Chains A and B, each alone.
Chain A
Amino acid sequence: MTGPTIHDALTHAIDAYDRLALLAEDVEDEWTYVTDLSAAWRERLEAAGADGDRPAGAAGPAIDRAIDEIDRIVDPHRAIDWLSTFPQVVLVAIGERP
């Protein structure tokens, strides 16, 4: 039996990222920035997972921990901060350049 792959971990990360972006959209005067920013980072994360068939290893629990962190956020302004930070945390976890 094989464990989760990098692709699996990134799929969970992108789902969580979409929830974060939805919260950030509550800041109405930053709506355009939020949508542009989340689209750019989503594309980056999807690209990182394109050849992600290798086992996630320690990156899996690391990404789960990062998802737990952003799922705690209730302030949309804080969510905007994390729209930039979360993808970098995920990339570091899978050994990619942030």
Chain B
Amino acid sequence: MRFQDAAKDARAVVYAGIQADPLVARVAAALAEASPDQRVMARAVMTGETVDPDGWRAMFPTLFAAAPEGPTGAADLALSETLLACALEVADRGDEIRNQLRGAIVEAVTERLLAARVGAPSVRRERRILFDGVRAEIHPYDVTVERDGAGEAYDCKWGARGINADVLNQLDDARTHAADEDERLVVALVVFDAQLSCAVRLARQTAPTAGIGLVSLESLSSLAEAPGRAT
């Protein structure tokens, strides 16, 4: 089993520009530190119809009420404000651009959380995984962890609706081929959506799901603690 950079086709070049947008890094940095409630707020704003910050503050009184005394309460409020401001910047882009930004944000926060656990040099983006005698997949994995004897491959989705047979088959194939070579490869979906919604989506899939981890909006921080958990 070995990892390889994906081909730099036209799609990859355009998408690299989206990934490099400083806004992506800012949102990802804030999301990496956020609580599940703050992540729900960020998802709502980035999917929203309106860009009035006071309206969003009113929708999340538990996040934007006067900060409890002490440094933790003040820090939480500051993070909520930071997340709201940058999520509104995403929402204020046109539909097509914000769709691309949102996908890139999920990848970037995944990369950041994984780097906290394994170190940045071991975390890579847009990589293919090659196995002896097996035709390479066309689509690269969004984020990989590349360490001897402890590889990980993640496919990142903004919403549960992005879970489909192609994604599941690709992850399952990689896991199976790795096992054939006596290599350990953790494979998982990172979905910036509710665990319940992912479970509903997965329940209707006929493609393999066993052995494929699921990291949802609620469990995102677990990426910094352990490899993606199996569904």
Contact = CB atoms under 8 A, between A and B. Distances in A.
Interface residues on B, range: 20 to 34
A36 B58 contact: no
B48 to A, nearest CB: 6
Given A62-B58, A85-B40, A33 B196 contact: no
B69 interface: no
A37 B36 CA distance: 20
> Main secondary structure on chain B at its contact with chain A?
helix
A44 B49 CA distance: 25
A72 B60 contact: no
A48 B92 CA distance: 33
Contacts, number: 94
Contacts of A32: 204
B36 A97 contact: yes
Interface of B: 36-37, 40-41, 43-44, 47-50, 55, 58-63, 65, 159-161, 193-194, 196-197, 199-201, 203-204, 217-218
Given A62-B60, A89-B44, A81 B159 contact: yes
B159 A65 contact: no
Nearest to A98: B40
Given A88-B40, A92-B40, 16 more contacts: A37-B160, A40-B200, A69-B48, A73-B49, A81-B161, A84-B193, A85-B40, A85-B194, A87-B194, A89-B59, A92-B63, A93-B59, A97-B36, A98-B36, A98-B40, A98-B194
5 contacts: A33-B204, A66-B44, A84-B194, A92-B62, A97-B218
